[in-house]
C-alpha cells in the first residue's frame, strides 16, 4: 500500500514538472517583444541597418558568365562593401519558387545567387542566410533550382523557412491590406538583398523585384492575387530591401512564371543593380520590351505605377542615373 502511494506522488510530481516545462515559454513572456500596434495583434516592423542609399542603376550586360555580370554591376556602384559591413547578418532573398531547372529561367540563376553570397562573405558578413518560400515542394525546389548547392558552395546558409517566424506585421500605409504575415528574418537582418529574376507573369504582366517579396509572406498568400498591384505596393511600404540585384541572364518571355517551352527562354545576358525597387522594376519592363518587342514600360505595370504614386521610388527612367557596363 505504502509503495503504491509513493508511486502516485512521484507521478504527480513529474506531471507538475512537465506541465511547468510546457507552460514556461508563456510564463517568461517570450515572443511578441516587438512594438505592438495599440489595440491590435499586429506588430510594427521597420528595416534594420542603414537607410537606403541613392546609387542609381547599374546594368551589366553581354557576358556569358552570370558571375562576371554580378561583379561588374556591383563594382560599378561602389562594391558590396557599401552595403555589407564586417559582422553583418545578411538575408538574401532570391526567387526559388518553382521546382524547375536553371535553364527554364523560372527561378533566379544559381550563379547569380552564388556570386552575391560570395561577395557578402568576402565583405566580412557574419552570416549570409538565403531563403524563399517556394510554391512547389521545398526540398525538390531548392535542389532543382541549383540554388541550394550554389549557396553551400559559396559558404552561405540555406534553410527551409520556419513557420514560427511569421509575424503579423502592420502595414500603416497600406491601401488594400493593413497587415500580413511576414517573415521576421527579413527585418532582423542587418542587410536585406532582394535577388529576383525578370520573367513573364500573366496577371502582373511581369514579375521582378517588388513581386519577389511575396516570398516573404505567409498566411493565405494566394489571396494576394485579387487586387494584386495595390497589395504588392502595400507590402513594399514595409519590406524595403537595401539592395536589389535583378537577374535577367535568361528571361522567360511567355507562359510564366513557371512553365514555358525552351523557345520561351531568351538568353538576355543582363543584370540590373539598384536600391530603388520601382526604378529597377521599371528598367526591367523596358528591357523586356526591347527583348520581346512588346509595347511595355514601367507605367503599364500596375504595381510599378502605384509604387511610384505612393512614393516608393522613381518610375520615370529619365530621372534615374544609369550606368551601362558592357562585360566581355
CA 18, distance to chain mean position in Å, is 40
Look up residue 91 and give its three cell numbers: 538575408
The nearest distance, CB 220 to another protein, in angstroms, is 6
The full length of the chain comes to 328
Radius of gyration for the alpha carbons in the chain, expressed in angstroms and rounded:
22
Please report which residue ranges of the chain form alpha helices under DSSP H.
2-27, 66-76, 110-122, 138-144, 147-154, 184-188, 209-212, 228-236, 277-292, 302-309
In 3D, which of 265, 281, 261 has the Cα closest to residue 273? 281
For the CB of residue 101, give the shortest distance to another protein in the complex, in Å.
9
The DSSP symbol for 189 reads S
Closer of 3 and 51 to another protein (Cβ): 3
Site string for another protein, 273-312 (x = CB under 8 A): ----------------------------------------
Tell me the per-residue interface mask from 141 to 170 with another protein, x by CB under 8 A, - otherwise: --xx--------------xxxxxx------
∠ Cα 106 108 113 (to 5°): 160
Nearer to another protein, 164 or 319 (CB): 164
Tell me the three cell numbers of residue 98. 518553382
**Residue (21 or 51) nearer to another protein, CB:** 21
Regarding 203 and contact with another protein (CB under 8 A), the answer is: yes
Options 71-79, 117-125, 217-225, 283-291: segment touching another protein (CB under 8 A): 217-225
Separation CA 278–CA 298 (nearest Å): 8
For the bound state, the minimum distance from the C-beta of residue 323 to another protein, rounded and expressed in Å, comes to: 34
Please tell me the count of residues contacting another protein according to CB under 8 A.
39
The dihedral over CA atoms of 179, 180, 186, 191, expressed in degrees to the nearest 10, equals: -40
Nearer to another protein, 4 or 164 (CB): 164
Backbone angles phi, psi at 261, to 5 degrees: -100, 170
- Touching another protein, residues 241-260 (CB under 8 A): 255, 257-260
Do the beta carbons of residue 216 and residue 96 sit within 8 Å? no
Q: Which of 24, 50, 267, 324 binds another protein (CB under 8 A)?
A: 24
Tell me if 222 contacts another protein by CB under 8 A: yes
Interacting residue with another protein among 28, 38, 51, 318 (CB under 8 A):
28
Residue 249 backbone dihedrals phi, psi, to 5 degrees: -70, -55
CB of 171 to another protein, least distance (A): 19
Between 22 and 318, CB nearer to another protein: 22
Residue among 37 and 161 whose Cβ is closer to another protein: 161
Q: Which stretch binds another protein (CB under 8 A): 36-44, 196-204, 238-246, 315-323?
A: 196-204
CB 213 within 8 A of CB 198: no
Interface contacts to another protein, rule CB under 8 A: 22, 24-25, 28, 30-31, 99-100, 133, 135-140, 143-144, 159-164, 201-203, 220, 222-223, 225-228, 255, 257-261
Amino acid at each position: 500500500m505504502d509503495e503504491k502511494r509513493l508511486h502516485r506522488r512521484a507521478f504527480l510530481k513529474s506531471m507538475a514538472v512537465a506541465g511547468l516545462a510546457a507552460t514556461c515559454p508563456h510564463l517568461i513572456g517570450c515572443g511578441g517583444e516587438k512594438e505592438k500596434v495599440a489595440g491590435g495583434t499586429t506588430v510594427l516592423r521597420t528595416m534594420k541597418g542603414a537607410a537606403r542609399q541613392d546609387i542609381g542603376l547599374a546594368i551589366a550586360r553581354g557576358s556569358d558568365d552570370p558571375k562576371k555580370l554580378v561583379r561588374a554591376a556591383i563594382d560599378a556602384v561602389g562594391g558590396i562593401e557599401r552595403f555589407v559591413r564586417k559582422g553583418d547578418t545578411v538575408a538574401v532573398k532570391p526567387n526559388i519558387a518553382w521546382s524547375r531547372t536553371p535553364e527554364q529561367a523560372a527561378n533566379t540563376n544559381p550563379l547569380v545567387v552564388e556570386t552575391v553570397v560570395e561577395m557578402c562573405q568576402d565583405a566580412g558578413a557574419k552570416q549570409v542566410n538565403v531563403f524563399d518560400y517556394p510554391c512547389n515542394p521545398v526540398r525538390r525546389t531548392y535542389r532543382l533550382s541549383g540554388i541550394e548547392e550554389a549557396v553551400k558552395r559559396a559558404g552561405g546558409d540555406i534553410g527551409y523557412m520556419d513557420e514560427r517566424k511569421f509575424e503579423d506585421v502592420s502595414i500603416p500605409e497600406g491601401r488594400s491590406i493593413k497587415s500580413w504575415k511576414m517573415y521576421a528574418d527579413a527585418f532582423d537582418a542587418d542587410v536585406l538583398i532582394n535577388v529576383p529574376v525578370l520573367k513573364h507573369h500573366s496577371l502582373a504582366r511581369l514579375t521582378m523585384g517588388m513581386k519577389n517579396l511575396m516570398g516573404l509572406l505567409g498566411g493565405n498568400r494566394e489571396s494576394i492575387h485579387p487586387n494584386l498591384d495595390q497589395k504588392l505596393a502595400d507590402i513594399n511600404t514595409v519590406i524595403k530591401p537595401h539592395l536589389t540585384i535583378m537577374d535577367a541572364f535568361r528571361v522567360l518571355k511567355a507562359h510564366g512564371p513557371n512553365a514555358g517551352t525552351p523557345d520561351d527562354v531568351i538568353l538576355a545576358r543582363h543584370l540590373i543593380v539598384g536600391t530603388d525597387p520601382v526604378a529597377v522594376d521599371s528598367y526591367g519592363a523596358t528591357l523586356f520590351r526591347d527583348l520581346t518587342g512588346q509595347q511595355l514600360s514601367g507605367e503599364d505595370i500596375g504595381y510599378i505605377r502605384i509604387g511610384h504614386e505612393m512614393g516608393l521610388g522613381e518610375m520615370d527612367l529619365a530621372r534615374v542615373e544609369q550606368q551601362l557596363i558592357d562585360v566581355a
